[in-house]
Structure 1
């Protein structure tokens, strides 16, 4: 794979993030649950179950959450406190409104069931996680580039750093601040799109940077130990809007 040079492609600031149509994104990407979504949940839960001692409650940040509760479902059983770190004002408002609604959408009921099954018996997880999420979760508006350092025990990032820019240098900067947001020894878990040409939300184009596992491992080895990036869920056809699988990364913050 040929990587873009640092300054090649459109940068993050060139896109209208505060015009992002959160509901249109949700309906397109999660309106109909896909087995690939279930697979993301299972591999993320597997990583989170192994983060620190199983009985320890963690301060967790999810970076670039977007209009998506899946990251919360993956982290809730391990979280003492959960921070959603999201830039777009529309997504922040959408997330806050979603957490105020006790009547879960059918899609969330499906994804929460997948997460509960992935954790297995013994965790005492409720049928409806929304009230508990409301207690534990804080939705914070902020840029990935401005994440405070060494502030959390674990961090997750689902399809964010590669979906905010076409520039390699900005992608690497986002990965660096993500990795540094966790205290030394803490867990990092992230999923990245594969074979995407970008995405369109309500007729507005947004970027994606093409990546390989080797590229991601190289970037994270500067900031983390025990780095492992692997291709998961790769198929020979598009899943949604130009992507056909994902790369899942785990590592330990330095």
Structure 2
């Protein structure tokens, strides 16, 4: 197997494990500029569903001063913003050095592009009591660099998110399943969660580098989560019409919403 970063021209390789992907060279700003400079329609649909899921859960069960966890945060702040009303501490767990550096700078006072995401969250009453989400996130956020397979603590979080990570860290189904299992084991019993996936992804190109993915469908997500989730697990398909599709790759996203048993 060739050594060095996986270039776009090399994507015919049959297998790329997580440890072989070029995470040290991931271009955080390029990915941010392609995906999160504005609120895209697919993210609007996902964030609305996550907002309503967390809002309904905590309306039923109460909660405050909790510890949140976002696994594989990348350059995406909206999962952490979605947990903000109930959390005094949110761990943004990330492997890629470029993403870690970006996160540490961004959570100190996030950019104006995230205001549109917050306005969408603030359409729900649970978020309307927060006058300064920038200051609140800055005080709550803890960026931790690490490998989820080796360094993610068990049963440490009261609410959790993992967006486009488990299927996007290698081509190997074994590692996809392991990533989901590690994530759910990081949550305490009763914790609500939101996990997003790309269906049938071939990976993503960021600059000249190709990053791997495992091709999955809805049943793969259900099979991984149903043993860990309480009754009421939902796996929603987020279809992206062609005229709205701004990302390369699949035209469908999967959003799993539930609660740990």
* Structure with the larger strand share: 1
Matched, 1:116 2:104: no
* Partner SS for 1:246: strand
Q: 1:113 to 1:167 in 2, by over 3 A?
A: same
Cα distance in 2 between the residues matched to 1:94 and 1:150: 27
Q: Deviations over 1:21-58 (max 9, x none)?
A: 11111001112431111111111111111334464112
Equivalent of residue 56 in structure 2, options 46, 50, 56 = 50
Q: 8 Å contact 2:168–2:212 — kept in the other structure?
A: yes
The residue correspondences of 1:169-184 to structure 2 (distance < 5 A) are 169-184=174-189
Cα distance in 2 between the residues matched to 1:210 and 1:9: 12
Cα distance in 2 between the residues matched to 1:199 and 1:177: 23
Residue 182 (structure 1) shift: 0.8
Q: Which residue of 2 aligns with 1:137?
A: 141
Q: Which residue of 1 aligns with 2:86?
A: 78
Equivalent of residue 39 in structure 1, options 32, 45, 50 = 45
Q: 1:92 to 1:44 in 2, by over 3 A?
A: same
Q: Which moved further from structure 2: 191-200 or 221-230?
A: 221-230
Q: 8 Å contact 1:235–1:245 — kept in the other structure?
A: no
* Partner SS for 2:224: helix
Matched, 1:26 2:32: yes
Cα distance in 2 between the residues matched to 1:130 and 1:11: 37
Q: Which moved further from structure 2: 217-226 or 154-163?
A: 217-226
Residue 63 (structure 1) shift: 0.6
Structure 2 spans left out of the alignment, 5+ residues: 1-13
Q: Please give the root-mean-square deviation of Cα atoms over the aligned residues, in Å.
A: 1.9
Q: 8 Å contact 1:194–1:247 — kept in the other structure?
A: yes
Q: 1:123 to 1:54 in 2, by over 3 A?
A: farther
How many pairs align?
243
Q: Which residue of 2 aligns with 1:65?
A: 73
Q: Deviations over 1:81-101 (max 9, x none)?
A: 211111112111100111223
Q: Which residue of 1 aligns with 2:6?
A: none
Equivalent of residue 253 in structure 1, options 248, 252, 260 = 260
* Partner SS for 1:50: helix
Residue 239 (structure 1) shift: 3.4
Residue 220 (structure 1) shift: 1.2
Q: Which residue of 2 aligns with 1:149?
A: 154
Q: 8 Å contact 2:235–2:257 — kept in the other structure?
A: yes
Matched, 1:160 2:168: no
TM-score, normalising length: structure 1: 0.89
Structure 1 spans left out of the alignment, 5+ residues: 1-7
Residue 246 (structure 1) shift: 1.1
Cα distance in 2 between the residues matched to 1:202 and 1:220: 33
Residue 225 (structure 1) shift: 2.5
Residue 121 (structure 1) shift: 6.7
Detail structure 1 runs of 4+ shifted over 4 Å in the superposition.
Answer: none
Q: 1:78 to 1:217 in 2, by over 3 A?
A: same
